């Protein structure tokens, strides 16, 4: 039976390499429509957790995994041998930055090498990991064609950018259109056929580079506009007005404006990293992406700005930062998740501890925190804990926090998320961005 027929009747076997915030929800969606799916991850603890029917991803319920395990439609493993019998292989592994801000695609290359080892005729391979433009054609294609197979005829290769928004229940995998760009038209069509089984809309673009750039443009757009909101917050403070009131007023315009919110910085695996992948690639060609560099500079300055607000607030109370007891509320990069990757809270905490502050944190999604050798104790958010702190700094606006209790009990608050908006707090006890 041809691959296209197996995709249509859901008899194809699918392997998803990487079972994190992207790979696990994707694997689950394919399994839910009847495909036999294997989730591959080198983290043995993750594999064991999944095979027990438990989930570590907020967007995937444990009962769903148990249902799929019982129906033999999903299994997790760390063994790459299953790639040989897989008809479709989707790579969803991290693509972080090195300390030098160069792309680290070692996880992609390692996964691609395993695919190459087990490659056979009739397979579809799709890269979903965000990367610099040209990766699919320039790196993956030569590796796979070394096996003597011809792309578009013997096997199919495409790029389809992940668009997962962890914790967003309004837009799940099936609700988000998929962009696919294949090496050949046949590759695009085959990838589109696969994704068409689980999403409502698939857009085929002319080549993988277009698809790679589309993802980078999406997150560069967000990075630049968040940077503008962050700089506006600083400007509004100098002018003595509320940036939040300004944004709310501007947002009443029904055309030509899209509101973005300032914050303590940017985090997660996409917005702080993806634009740097693009600027790195362009720099190789002698082009300097100035907008990207400036946005990155502004966004990365926000943790320091939050600390400045904290220092000024403590000074008004006759206290200094050194020796102050600081309670951090929220250390994940966004509300509703426990993802710590690139979280600005890490920079805030590290700098506070470097300056001699006594720091603890509360976060319902992050049970422990150790960053660059600094161990920060976790506390339960109680009235006594809040009252004991010299200052409370809200870095992540989790819905689980009792903000009314916080504003009633806190000695001083720095609210970097406007989480206390609408609550009656004396102006001498709170600072908002």
Instruction: Please choose, from the candidates 256, 233, 227, the residue with its C-alpha nearest in 3D space to the C-alpha of residue 246.
Output: 233
Answer for the pair 155, 149: CB distance below 8 angstroms, yes or no. Answer: yes
Burial of 98 (C-beta count, 10 Å sphere; 0-12/13-18/19+): exposed
Q: Which helix (H) or strand (E) holds 188?
A: helix 185-195
Residue in the block written with tokens 């990069």: 333
Q: How far apart are CA 184 and CA 165, in angstroms?
A: 29
State the Cα–Cα distance between residues 353 and 376, nearest whole angstrom: 9
What six digits make up the tokens of 299? 């966004």
List, in sequence order, every residue forming a beta bridge with 180; answer none if it has no partner.
204
- CB atoms < 10 A from the CB of 203, how many? 15
Give me the sheet containing 358-362, strands edge to edge.
358-362, 325-329, 391-394, 413-415, 430-432
Whole-angstrom Cα distance, residue 245 to residue 111?
48
Q: How far is CA 39 from CA 88, 123, 371, 405, in A?
A: 12, 17, 29, 43
For residue 315, give Cα distances in angstroms to 296, 318, 412.
30, 5, 11
* Nearest partner of 25 among 110, 92, 95, judged by Cα: 92
Question: Which residue has 């495909």 as its token pair?
Answer: 35
Dihedral of CA 50/56/58/62: which sign? positive
Catalytic residue among 92, 187, 236, 270: 270
Active site residue 270: yes
CB 360 within 8 A of CB 379: yes
Which residues are the active-site residues?
A: 270
């Amino acid at each position: 039976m041809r691959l296209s027929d197996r995709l249509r009747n859901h008899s194809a076997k699918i392997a998803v390499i990487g079972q994190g915030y992207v790979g696990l929800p994707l694997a689950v969606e394919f399994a839910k429509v009847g495909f036999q799916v294997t989730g591959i991850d080198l983290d043995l603890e993750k594999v064991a957790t999944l095979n027990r029917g438990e989930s570590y991803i907020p967007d995937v319920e444990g009962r769903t995994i148990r249902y799929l395990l019982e129906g033999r439609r999903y299994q997790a493993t760390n063994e790459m041998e299953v790639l040989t019998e897989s008809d479709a292989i989707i790579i969803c592994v991290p693509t972080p930055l090195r300390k030098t801000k160069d792309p680290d695609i070692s996880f992609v290359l390692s996964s691609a090498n395993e695919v190459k080892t087990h490659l056979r005729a009739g397979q579809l391979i799709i890269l979903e990991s965000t990367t610099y433009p040209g990766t699919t054609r320039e790196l993956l294609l030569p590796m796979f064609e070394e096996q003597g197979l011809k792309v578009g005829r013997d096997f199919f290769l495409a790029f389809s950018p992940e668009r997962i928004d962890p914790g967003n229940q309004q837009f799940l995998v099936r609700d988000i259109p998929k962009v696919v760009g294949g090496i050949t038209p046949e590759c695009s069509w085959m990838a589109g056929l696969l994704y068409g089984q689980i999403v409502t809309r698939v857009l085929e673009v002319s080549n993988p580079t277009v698809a790679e750039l589309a993802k980078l443009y999406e997150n560069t757009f967000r990075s630049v506009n968040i940077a503008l909101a962050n700089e506006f917050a600083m400007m509004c403070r100098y002018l003595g007005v509320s940036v939040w009131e300004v944004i709310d007023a501007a947002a009443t315009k029904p055309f030509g404006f899209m509101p973005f919110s300032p914050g303590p910085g940017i985090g997660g695996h996409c917005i702080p990293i993806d634009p740097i992948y693009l600027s790195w690639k362009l720099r190789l060609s002698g082009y300097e992406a100035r907008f990207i560099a400036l946005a990155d500079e502004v966004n990365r300055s926000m943790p320091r700005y939050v600390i400045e607000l904290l220092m000024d607030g403590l000074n008004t109370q006759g206290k200094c930062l050194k020796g102050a007891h600081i309670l951090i509320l929220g250390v994940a990069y966004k509300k509703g998740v426990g993802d710590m990757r690139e979280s600005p809270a890490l920079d805030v905490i590290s700098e506070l501890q470097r300056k001699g502050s006594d720091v603890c944190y509360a976060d319902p999604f992050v049970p422990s925190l150790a960053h660059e050798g600094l161990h920060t104790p976790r506390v339960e958010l109680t009235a006594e804990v809040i009252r004991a702190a010299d200052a409370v700094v809200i870095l992540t606006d989790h819905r689980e926090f009792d903000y009314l209790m916080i504003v009633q009990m806190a000695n001083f608050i720095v609210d970097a998320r406007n989480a206390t908006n609408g609550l009656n707090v004396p102006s001498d006890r709170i600072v908002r961005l």
